Structure 1
Amino acid sequence: MNKKRSAGIALGAIALITLTASGTGVVFAQTAPAATASSRLDAVLARGTLRVCTTGDYKPYSFLKPDGKFEGIDIDMAESLAKSLGVKTDYVKTTWSGLMNDFLAKCDVAAGGVSTSLERQKHVFFTQPYMIDGKTPIVRCADTEKYQTLAQIDQPDTRVIVNPGGTNERFAKQYFTHAKLTVYPDNVTIFKQILDEKADVMVTDASETLLQQKLNPGLCSVHPDRPFQYGEKAYMLPQGDVTFQQYVDQWLHLARATGEFQSISDKWLK
């Protein structure tokens, strides 16, 4: 006798015992239909706004202009996501150190060059990655040969500078235990510190170094095609909300397949 037939006979026997014990043909125990959990997707549609947490200090992904408006790759992508939902965007300015708490309390999506990490994954869902990236140095162009490796950078006389609260700071504190490490609070003006010879090296995502060397003549990205480690960019979403995650993943898949993402990326990177 196969297992499925055995299970069917067993269930039938249980039903028969229940009916006999009650003395009636009425079944007393019924399985209630499972409650449908509400999704953030429903909340966004009902609210009419998509709340987006972003730092506004990370070109080319997110930058807060003096007029108070955000711009960048992930800002254009957030606008695309909101348009697909038929809602407006509501941007929440945050910091790298406060990103997780702000997202959990105030936002539906976090965007702006957010790197995936296992530590963040403990608290949030990520979309599929939309960009492969990795940490690489940016230095004064005269010093490119001097700072090719982690060992060359991690010397007592090397002045490493890093912005606080994100994966850059964690990377620097893990690998640069001998260098002079300065945590500098402003990720917008941090590159000028290297130009002004107040620091020697910053290690950040290769995509950022490629843009910053264009914006700051005299700075050079060091082997951006061969970063020190593998990294990914993705959007943060509420943990456990599969419905919302699947919607955003499908939107992102279509944006990449149709060339929309590439067009937006080229606009800011080229």
Structure 2
Amino acid sequence: MINPKKIFKLALISMMAVLILAGCGGEKTSGDGKGKDVLAQIKDRGKIIVGVKNDTRLFGLKNPSTGKVEGFDIDIAKALAKEILGDENKVQFKEVTSKTRMPLLQNGDIDAIIATMTITDERKKEVDFTDVYFDAGQSLLVKKGSKITGIQDLKKGTKVLAVKGSTSAINIREKAPDTTVLEFENYSEAFAALKSKQGDALTTDDAILYGMVDEDPSYELVGGTFTKEPYGIAVKKGNKKLVDELNKALKKLKDSGKYQEIHDKWIKN
């Protein structure tokens, strides 16, 4: 006679196996595109969604008169869209900050980040980067005539302004441990705080600071650069096909002279 308990156990195991297989199969056969790599999704929808800054003069800044975002990163994204999809207009821009760009990428709200993002070993654990598309270095911005002439002047009693989620905030604490660091949501807020004398200096990449000088020439960069900040395009980890496609497109832009044309249009220092 067959033991009823054994029959029950076998039935339970069979049911669990069916549920597990159904769950696994469901993800692979989903019709919402989640089972595809990001490059395939981009080509299917016919556009790439890129996270860009809206508050960073020269790289990504919203023009109040047109409502459009303009800058080096914007033009690079358009040129990449033309190389990959055949049309520079096949790109959709979504605003990000240093704090929000990684979560938006991980959530699938954007396909790539082109937003003055420094390639670091720590970030490589979370995302994949393309080759370097811009070389920057961290520096200091001060009001002309300031007693601060370089990082050596950032001592106890001085205040330095930075942006949340940026490598700049981390670096300045290491390079000038006695100074007080105040962090803001974005560069516009940080620069406004410097203008209202909430701090003695503002720190971020020199490329971004040049944009602030372009906005208000009564400020200047001092002390040269004290870090290397190579910018890369970030994509969700594991998307090698997209990284390869972006790198191939970047190379074409550099070989054709288009990259230099975009660089010279925005970066004049």
Of 57, 60, 63, the residue aligned with 2:61 is 63
- 2:148 equivalent to 1:146: yes
- The 3-state SS of whatever aligns with 2:92 is strand
Unpaired stretches in structure 1, ≥5 consecutive residues: 1-36
Say if 2:54 and 2:69, in contact at 8 Å, map to a contact too.
yes
* Partner in structure 1 of residue 263 of structure 2: 265
* Partner in structure 1 of residue 18 of structure 2: none
Distance 1:213 1:91 in 2: 26
- The 3-state SS of whatever aligns with 2:132 is coil
Distance 1:95 1:208 in 2: 13
Say if 2:128 and 2:236, in contact at 8 Å, map to a contact too.
yes
Q: What is the correspondence of 1:42-121 to structure 2 with a 5 Å cutoff?
A: 42-66=40-64, 67-84=66-83, 85-86=85-86, 88-105=90-107, 106-121=109-124
- 2:140 equivalent to 1:137: yes
Say if 2:99 and 2:185, in contact at 8 Å, map to a contact too.
no
* Partner in structure 1 of residue 126 of structure 2: 123
Distance 1:159 1:174 in 2: 14
Offset at residue 200 of structure 1 (A):
1.0
Distance 2:104 2:112 in 1: 11
- The 3-state SS of whatever aligns with 2:178 is coil
Offset at residue 255 of structure 1 (A):
0.6
Say if 1:53 and 1:109, in contact at 8 Å, map to a contact too.
yes
Distance 1:180 1:191 in 2: 16
Q: What is the correspondence of 1:1-270 to structure 2 with a 5 Å cutoff?
A: 38-66=36-64, 67-84=66-83, 85-86=85-86, 88-105=90-107, 106-143=109-146, 146-149=148-151, 151-153=152-154, 155-224=155-224, 227-270=225-268
Say if 1:195 and 1:219, in contact at 8 Å, map to a contact too.
no
Distance 1:58 1:163 in 2: 12
Offset at residue 131 of structure 1 (A):
1.6
Cα deviation digits, residues 182-220 of structure 1 (max 9, x gap): 212341242243334332111211112223222212111
Count of residues paired in the alignment: 230
Offset at residue 142 of structure 1 (A):
0.8
- The 3-state SS of whatever aligns with 2:243 is helix
Unpaired stretches in structure 2, ≥5 consecutive residues: 1-34
Identity of aligned residues (%): 23
Offset at residue 38 of structure 1 (A):
4.5
Structure-2 change in CA distance of 1:146 and 1:92 (3 Å): closer
Task: Give the TM-score normalised by the residue count of structure 1.
Answer: 0.78
Offset at residue 168 of structure 1 (A):
1.8
- The 3-state SS of whatever aligns with 1:233 is strand
Cα deviation digits, residues 158-193 of structure 1 (max 9, x gap): 121111121122223333432232212341242243
* Partner in structure 1 of residue 15 of structure 2: none
* Aligned-residue CA RMSD (Å): 2.1
Say if 1:56 and 1:112, in contact at 8 Å, map to a contact too.
no
